[in-house]
Structure 1
Amino acid sequence: MKIKNRKLFILDDNPDILQVITESLAIAGFTNLTTANCQTQALDLLNRESFDLAILDIMLPDGSGFEVLRHIRKKSTMPVLFLSAVSDIEKQYQGFELGADDYIVKPFRPKELELRLLSILKRSYPQQDELVQLTGCQINFERAAIIKENQEIPLTAKEFSLLRVLYDHKNKIVTFDNLLASVWGEQYQGYENTLMAHIRKIRQKIEVNPSKPVHLTTIKGLGYQLRVD
């Protein structure tokens, strides 16, 4: 998973600051942001969902960010960053003692928040190329390429999208309609021949014998299947 696709939880009781945080992170490329404005809402969300990182305010109308962190640490080791107007060094020490990974004092610079988050996420979730082993080659989704005989063969945007959908449903049949809708959108009528052409090009890149495919197979009358051991 790409770093900026990680699921972030943001807690702040000030709607203006919450908006600044979410807008600045969205502009920076973070795609998965969930917010809360009080301790009660935060605990409810944390009990129902899993997150990759939390940004917590300290002073809340119905509690404290410290209490939220205590709750998190009972069941999760996900990284936590405090973003608070509380500049008291003793409070900062308290946050670290409870298990926080970083602490930023408001007012903050959006760029600093972005860089601190990236640093924490890279440290907490080391990136590894996602390699899929096939007969005679590998699919490298991180690099959008096929590794074959020590050569890197790039995938086009449509080839990558098709392979991604097929791999997400590996060893299952993906119908023609579902594949078309996933890659070309709901208005996919007329792209059937284009789909077949892309499938043919993908086979040329991943199959040992494209005329007799063993991995990307056609299920007659239904769709395609990516077979992966």
Structure 2
Amino acid sequence: MAGQQLIYYVEDDAHIRDLTRYALEKAGFEARCFPDADGFFAALADRVPALILLDIMLPGIDGLEILRRLRDDATTEGIPVMMLTAKGTEYDTVVGLDAGADDYLAKPFGMMELVSRVNALLRRAEREAAAPATPAAEGPIALDAEAHMVTAGGVPVSLTLKEFELLRVLMANEGRVLTRDQLLDQVWDMAFAGGTRTVDAHVTTLRQKLAAACPGAEALVVTVRGVGYGYRRGDDGR
């Protein structure tokens, strides 16, 4: 799986940084590690990695701010990001996922688990990149998975990676209601006890962006109370 794919890791603890680099390189990856955001962003301007590992507690710019900047930049918004941090509370996990992280691993973590999760994220990114286009046959929303583009009423809609994948999954299952757990599994490829709030938060921001581009388009993403969410072309439910 590895094939010398490049991974960046931002971590201020030299011991953890060195152990992680060693584990990744033993698994066949090319790993570059940085103690802070400055060196990371300098390297990012020169070469974009296949995946990024981020600690939250960093000197200067913290991991969450780094993540926000990555998701706000068209060049880096689609890069898989895993948060690696000593903070393991439900709140911190939700904050990281809601900010756009693709996975979350709390310290202390085993290197075998880390490598396994890295491989899983990279496989998922490859599947998403290879997914066929899923345009809406009718209605105001059109999604092109190959070009990674969404329009609502003909107006381009800028979505994060997870917002895009959430909409893609809902559209691919038009007429079905998916539970929050099903969406967490299909979009985030993980199970997490606090994940329902992450799904709800992403549905809210997705609807806001659709409505801003084409008022009324947000109504196609419907809520079925007590069950979950769906996509229903022509349905005005919420």
Distance 1:64 1:98 in 2: 13
Q: Where in structure 2 are the equivalents of 1:89-104 lying within 5 Å?
A: 89-104=90-105
Contact 2:2 2:27 in 1 (8 A): no
Alpha-carbon deviation of 1:48?
A: 2.8
Task: Report the counterpart of residue 70 of structure 1 in structure 2.
Answer: 68
| Aligned mates of 2:107, 2:3 — CA distance in 1 | 23
CA contact (8 A) 2:2 2:28 kept: no
Q: Distance in 1 between matches of 2:9 and 2:59?
A: 16
Secondary structure of the equivalent of 1:21? Answer: helix
| 55-64 vs 44-53, which moves further | 44-53
RMSD, aligned α-carbons: 1.9
Aligned-pair CA distance for 1:127: 11
Q: SS of 2:52's equivalent?
A: strand
Q: Which amino acid aligns with 2:55?
A: D
Structure 1 Cα separation of the partners of residues 87 and 128 of structure 2: 33
Contact 1:46–1:72 (CA<8 Å) still a contact in 2?
no
Q: Which residue of 1 aligns with 2:24?
A: 25
Find the counterpart in structure 2 of residue 121 from structure 1: 122
Gaps of 5+ in 1: 129-229
Aligned to 2:36: 38
Residues in 1 aligned to 2:26 and 2:16: alpha-carbon distance in whole angstroms: 15
What is the deviation of 1:93?
Answer: 0.5
The structure richer in strand per residue is: 1
Corresponding residue number in structure 2 for 1:14: 13
Normalised by the size of structure 1, how large is the TM-score? 0.52
| Structure with greater Cα Rg | 1
Looking at structure 2, the residues matched to 63 and 127 of structure 1 have their Cα atoms a distance apart, in angstroms, of 30
* Count of aligned positions: 126
- Identity in percent: 29
Q: TM-score, normalised by structure 2?
A: 0.50
Name the SS for the 2:31 alignment partner: strand
Deviation of 1:34 after TM superposition, in Å, equals 1.3
